[in-house]
Amino acid sequence: MTTEQISTTPPSEQAKTSETRRGIFIMLCAVMLIALIDPAAKYAARDLPVLQVVWGRYAFAALTAVVLFRPPRNPARWGIVRLPLQLVRASLLLSATAFNFLALRSLGLVENQAIVMLSPVVITAVSILLFGERAGLTTILGLLAGLAGALMVIRPGGDMFKLGSLFAIEHVLSYAFYVLLSRHLLKTDTALSLNLLAVFLPAVILSLLVPWVWVWPASFSSWFALASVGFVGGTGHFLLVLAHRHAPASTLAPFTYTQLCWALAGGFIVFQEVPSIGTALGALAIVGAGILILVTSRR
């Protein structure tokens, strides 16, 4: 008796399950690579100006995008409909990256990533306040839990408060508006155009500015870290797009929180960082809040 004969699952359902599993696997790989941006940037910024590290993030990501996406040579064929809004979106992503790398100069990887995990909470809050989206009791509880977790990590007014926390918050706000604008643009513009302009525009602008602060990396490890910031970021975001072709966003979203695990591993292995109990508890509260809001939004 063959496998097909004894299976109780219709072939179409089996194919759908297989596609979903493939999407989840690709998503996990994407999140791992995106999580590697922070340790690479933190390592590179020890010897190099932050502006130069941000340039590396976009210059090498642009090269990666050309190889992986293989876009048409004529930008008119990318599917750009609302160029001004795309430029605003790219600027928001650039500012989010700059704030993130500035935060990493004084924050540990887990501290920074815990604050970054606030993004879904902030996106939900902005959607309610600015766009009038309805919020039930569970969503409100999720927002409060996320706020409480953030306060545990940031500890405003405490001896451990760091300037990097403010940069991390600025990163979260910039990224939240970037995501909201992305959702709006996807109604008219193609995903290809959004991905390409998001790296090409910053790469061009920063290439004009970076010569004024350029410092030659003193070692191979510095060069490797500088290039890795862009290559792993570019590859990670390519896999992110690919994952969503195999599985729905609602299925993939919870796996973004595995980024915190990679931040913990990277911080310990590369920088010998051990997060405090307060940071760990705050991070768990933020992750729990995000998952609670996600589950509520599916209903």
Supply 120's token pair: 């879904």
* Mean per-residue pLDDT, 109-129: 77
CA gap 184, 180 in Å, rounded:
6
Q: Residue 7: pLDDT above 50?
A: no
Q: Residue 132: pLDDT above 70?
A: no
* Mean per-residue pLDDT, 181-188: 84
Task: Map residue 186 onto helix, strand or coil.
Answer: coil
Which residue's entry shows tokens 């994407």?
30
pLDDT-derived band at 298 (thresholds 50, 70, 90) equals low
Q: Residue 219: pLDDT above 70?
A: yes
**Helix boundaries (H) for the chain:** 3-6, 11-35, 37-44, 50-69, 83-103, 109-116, 119-131, 137-154, 163-185, 191-209, 220-246, 249-252, 259-271, 277-298
What pLDDT was estimated at residue 25?
Answer: 86
Task: Map residue 46 onto helix, strand or coil.
Answer: coil
CA gap 59, 234 in Å, rounded:
10
Contact 296, 138 (CB under 8 A): yes
What pLDDT was estimated at residue 249?
Answer: 66
Query: pLDDT tens across 240-257, in order?
Result: 878 878 877 666 766 777
Say how many Å lie between the first and final Cα of the chain, rounded: 42
* Mean per-residue pLDDT, 207-230: 92
pLDDT-derived band at 80 (thresholds 50, 70, 90) equals confident
What is the share, in percent, of the chain residues with pLDDT greater than 70? 82
pLDDT-derived band at 49 (thresholds 50, 70, 90) equals very high
* Mean per-residue pLDDT, 73-89: 87
Q: Residue 210: pLDDT above 90?
A: yes
Give this prediction's pTM.
0.79
CA dist 203 → 37, 52, 104, 210 (Å): 16, 11, 21, 10
* Mean per-residue pLDDT, 149-155: 68
Which phi and psi angles does 187 have, rounded to 5°? -75, -25
Report CA dihedral (196, 198, 203, 208) to the nearest 10 degrees.
120
CA gap 286, 296 in Å, rounded:
15
What pLDDT was estimated at residue 84?
Answer: 92
pLDDT-derived band at 283 (thresholds 50, 70, 90) equals confident
Higher-confidence position of 126 and 173: 173
What pLDDT was estimated at residue 2?
Answer: 38
What is the share, in percent, of the chain residues with pLDDT greater than 90? 23
Contact 221, 83 (CB under 8 A): no
- Mean pLDDT over each residue of the chain, to the nearest integer: 80
Higher-confidence position of 142 and 238: 238
Side chain identity at residue 275, one-letter code:
P
* Mean per-residue pLDDT, 113-140: 73
Instruction: Return the domain boundaries, the chain.
Output: 19-298
Contact 168, 107 (CB under 8 A): yes
